[in-house]
């Protein structure tokens, strides 16, 4: 018996339905947005058939929207990257679904394998590129939805095809 509390529950707490919070229809915390991304990542039927690869421009598809947030699916052929950019007032969760991506910031480079997640706040800047020899797919949740993607300097970016779109 737990002696740190005077509260004792008799019976099965899960049987007391009115004490349980109803399931949320939409995420509202960082952990919930990261969880949404992980649940989509785990359910390939939601996204695998939608993925396309375009060697001339980075491909992206808005997979889902909700109150104040958007979920984007992106593909990356080898060599495609964003260039150093910010996300305006948006926070984000980047999740690698397939392949691997490299994220460069002013603090260095980080290899992101399938399943890796990066959560960032407004004001965060990075350069994301597929430096591998295989295509990659990623999922991006933005809250609020991404309305601008200001490009920053070129100091951290090697020459490559660039597209100022979602990342
Ligand atoms: Fe980005």
- 11 alpha carbon to ligand 1 midpoint, in Å? 49
Give the pLDDT of residue 15: 76
Look-up: residue for tokens 């649940």? 39
Span from the CA of 22 to the centroid of ligand 1 (angstroms) = 33
**Alpha carbon of 167 to ligand 1 centroid (Å):** 4
**Which H/E stretch holds residue 32?**
helix 30-42
Q: What is the pLDDT of residue 89?
A: 95
Sheet holding 136-143, edge to edge: 59-66, 69-76, 136-143, 91-98, 117-120
Q: Could you give the percent of the chain with pLDDT greater than 90?
A: 72
CB-neighbour burial class of residue 146 (10 A; exposed 0-12, middle 13-18, buried 19+): buried
pLDDT at 52 over 80: yes
CA atoms of 28 and 1, how far apart (whole Å)? 35
Q: Per-residue pLDDT tens for 4-21?
A: 677 777 777 777 777 777
**Res 43: pLDDT:** 97
Distance 132 CA to ligand 1 centre (A): 18
pTM of this structure: 0.81
pLDDT attached to residue 166: 63
Give the C-alpha separation, 101 to 75, whole Å.
11
Distance 49 CA to ligand 1 centre (A): 24
Which tokens in the block code for residue 86? 């910010």
């Amino acid at each position: 018996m737990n002696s740190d509390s005077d509260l004792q529950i008799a019976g099965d707490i899960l049987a007391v339905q009115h004490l349980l919070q109803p399931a949320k229809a939409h995420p509202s915390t960082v952990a919930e947005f990261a969880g949404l991304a992980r649940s989509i990542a785990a359910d390939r039927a939601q996204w695998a058939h939608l993925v396309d690869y375009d060697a001339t421009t980075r491909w992206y598809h808005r997979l889902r929207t909700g109150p104040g947030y958007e979920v984007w699916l992106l593909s990356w052929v080898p060599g495609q990257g964003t260039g150093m950019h910010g996300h305006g007032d948006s926070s984000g969760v980047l999740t690698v679904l397939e392949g691997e991506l490299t994220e460069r910031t002013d603090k260095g480079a980080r290899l992101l394998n399938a399943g890796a997640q990066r959560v960032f706040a407004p004001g965060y800047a990075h350069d994301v590129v597929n430096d591998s020899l295989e295509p990659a797919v990623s999922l991006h949740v933005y809250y609020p939805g991404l309305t601008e993607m200001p490009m920053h300097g070129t100091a951290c970016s090697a020459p490559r095809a660039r597209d100022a779109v979602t990342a």
